[in-house]
Structure 1
């Protein structure tokens, strides 16, 4: 079996037609809203944990599993589903994905037991599995190269906003109309977007709206990659493996807090479900802001130096662990919240540091596969594992006790970043000696 990829960047039309550009922005708006729906459907259930725990007599392990199974499915299926979508057609694939996760969310609304809910949540993950990678790939094809960073940043920011809306709106609706309506309205929102998308976005229209080459002939360089060669390109060194692993271990903490904060605020702060959901959503929004700010600060300080990026990753992780350790040792109250707010600024700092390290060490022709691999690591070892194992510990020592031990989890990515930095220095020295020897 061989995998083909291309390192060519097609020459793009200097000025797109006004109609094509307008259509591209319409597609962007729809894709942004679909990513909102994606994360609203994924995160809405977290606000309902206190209700389901009592109504269905669920353990924290069970609650963690119905949350963690979604990113687990996403992590496992992202790569194969992305390859299928590239061959079958991205526009059609996206419509099918959104319809599936909306239908599965409706299934969550009518579930009558833990097992039915667990099955429905699996299909939520199946539907969402490749949307981020396929959606971004389609948007990149609609805009000229000088807008790609803007499009990528704008599109992915919908994940943070969707998480906030999903948790906060779900808690409010559940308090007034019952938890089933929370999930049902998420499904209705998704179905409405699918209908609009189906009539607006087609393969033919997307192809016509792409910027065309007018004065240059693209030169294609096809690379034949066997599975072994692809694996070697994705993992070219030990330091790159450390970047994948360190990011996932740090996301373990993020996934845990996003899932369990509403329950923690409800149980130990005495907040009603609706208020706990709103406060937790605010912290998620702070985390999204921190993701952007950490990326900006890292670029300003590091420049072209990968070593400085390793230093920033280590520093962010250290600050995160210290702030969380102090916050969860304090009694519930405003002081604890005052420390949690700056702590969550660093939850997603690994996206800016590790993504840049991986991009600098892997061939540009396979960056899509490299970031899909990072997504796999983050989802399976981070977003899926964090909520589940925290639920298991919470059943043994209580949720407050489990979260008090959570800052120790920061030791693992901190250690991996230190090891990765050491490998990076050694690899840079070997590369320098090799270049001197060939002169």
Structure 2
């Protein structure tokens, strides 16, 4: 039996090179990669459910412990802080220590920490528990997606990456929705306990089904070859920052998620202030737009994989188109008066607001060596966190204090202009990026 890996030719195109495989080895089952994806996606849901359930119990904690708004905010911020600080170093460690073991350890840690939240007797104990939640969740997204793309062909990487990233939106909605219902009927401590139990059960199931050996047997042809050689070779971590095309993917992804992060954070307040909706109803309406963002990531990823089947560089073009659509719809929508037309345009803009996440992640996977892929996604997560998820809501908050929330939201999509510029540059230097990747490790002999 003969497999094929890929290497960049002198013209930047990807060419196939044969890799010999053991003919007696059992043929990988096609269903197993999808089982890996389902379990990894389930853990991602558990990740964000554990992270966001806190928002559902804010009123209970404020009343029971007499907490200020700044103290409540710190319980949320400490998780984001630890994720931002630890994503890259823990991703590098996972590449060296083993991705499956790292994922299981992370899931157990954040689930156990969530259980400690249920047992907390006061603010300081809750803060310490939330600190541990952030440590456990820090690198799950980057390592989890690295495991998933390793067992699927590159032609579906954009769809899988988009779906995986969309899990954050879906998990957030589930965490807040279920957490609120449980808190009302059983008490806020059971909200945390339920999320913890769900995460622990999934971690045990993941450990029972997924292993490094099974992942190696189901690895794609290119990854299989690198896995065979990878025992003696690991690409330097510096390669994550010396390929111009990869840097463009990092920046383009981070700045396109800037606006999606703004919508996630500020839409409840927008509906409360501009549409005069009560806070609970404003949150419910905003959750529809959150779901649109997640659905858009999945659908745009699928579209990208289809248009990029014949030419991978078209994935850059798809990302640029998604950014342009969202820019136009949101910029116009927020300048209109309240009403159905505005909601329609904002809805379309929200759908495409994170659509470039899948294509950008696919480019990162295609332009980095498999031995440091979790580290590459850790770098992508770091860029998304610092330039998008953290910066976007903060900048709009500062602008809102000066020009009003509606005007600030209308200015936020301008970040797409820089994202589009980065993606255009990335497409231009993509062939050179492939050649640079090919030079990291000698191609297999023909």
TM-score scaled by length of structure 2: 0.71
Q: Distance in 2 between matches of 1:191 and 1:372?
A: 27
- Asked if structure 2 preserves the Cα contact closer than 8 Å seen for 1:73 and 1:129, the reply is yes
Structure 2 residues without counterparts, runs of 5 or longer: 1-6, 8-18, 219-223, 437-446
Cα deviation digits, residues 92-144 of structure 1 (max 9, x gap): 5444423432454466675866x887665443321111223444566788x79
Q: Give the deviation of 1:185 after TM superposition.
A: 0.9
Paired residues in the alignment total 407
- Corresponding position of 1:37: 46
Q: Give the SS at the match of 1:322.
A: helix
1:310-389 equivalent positions in 2, closer than 5 A? 310-389=316-395
Q: Does 1:220 align with 2:232?
A: no
Q: 1:153: Cα distance to partner?
A: 7.5
Distance apart, 1:297 and its partner CA: 2.4
Question: Is the Cα contact below 8 Å between 2:78 and 2:130 reproduced in 1?
Answer: yes
- 1:333 CA displacement: 3.5
**TM-score, scaled relative to structure 1:** 0.72
Local SS of the residue matching 1:362: coil
Q: Does structure 2 retain, via aligned residues, the 8 Å contact 1:11–1:212?
A: no
Matched, 1:70 2:98: no
What's 1:282 paired with? 288
Cα 1:343–1:297, aligned 2, differ >3 Å: closer, same or farther? same
- 1:52-76 Cα offsets, whole Å, 9 max, x none, are 99985647xx887765553443243
Tell me by how many angstroms 1:321 deviates.
Answer: 1.3
How far, CA to CA, are the matches of 2:93 and 2:125 in structure 1?
28
Root-mean-square deviation (Å): 4.5
Q: Distance in 2 between matches of 1:316 and 1:27?
A: 29
Is the contact made by 1:103 and 1:187 (CA closer than 8 Å) also made in structure 2? Answer: no
**Pair 152,324 (structure 1): closer, same or farther in 2 beyond 3 Å:** closer
1:1-20 matched pairs, under 5 angstroms: 13-15=25-27
Residue 171 of structure 2 is aligned to residue 130 of structure 1: no
Three-state SS of the structure 2 residue aligned to 1:346 is helix
Shift of 1:154: 6.9
Change (3 A) 1:145 1:251: closer
Which residue number corresponds to residue 100 of structure 1? Answer: 109
Query: How far apart, CA to CA, are the structure 2 residues paired with 1:30 and 1:410?
Result: 33
SS in 1 for 2:352: coil
Contact 2:44–2:171 (8 Å) recurs in 1: yes
Residues of 2 paired with 1:409 and 1:177: CA distance?
A: 43
After TM superposition, the structure 1 = structure 2 runs for residues 130-279 of structure 1, keeping only pairs within 5 Å, are 130-136=139-145, 158-170=167-179, 176=184, 181=188, 184-195=190-201, 197-198=203-204, 200=205, 202=207, 206=211, 220-222=228-230, 224=233, 227=236, 230-231=237-238, 233-279=239-285
Residue deviations 1:366-408 (CA, integer Å, cap 9, x gap): 4333223212211222112223333333444443343232122
Does the C-alpha gap of structure 1 residues 302 and 68 become closer, same or farther in structure 2, counting only changes over 3 Å? Answer: farther
In the alignment, what sits opposite 1:404? 410
The equivalent of 1:437 in structure 2 is none
Q: 1:291 to 1:186 in 2, by over 3 A?
A: same
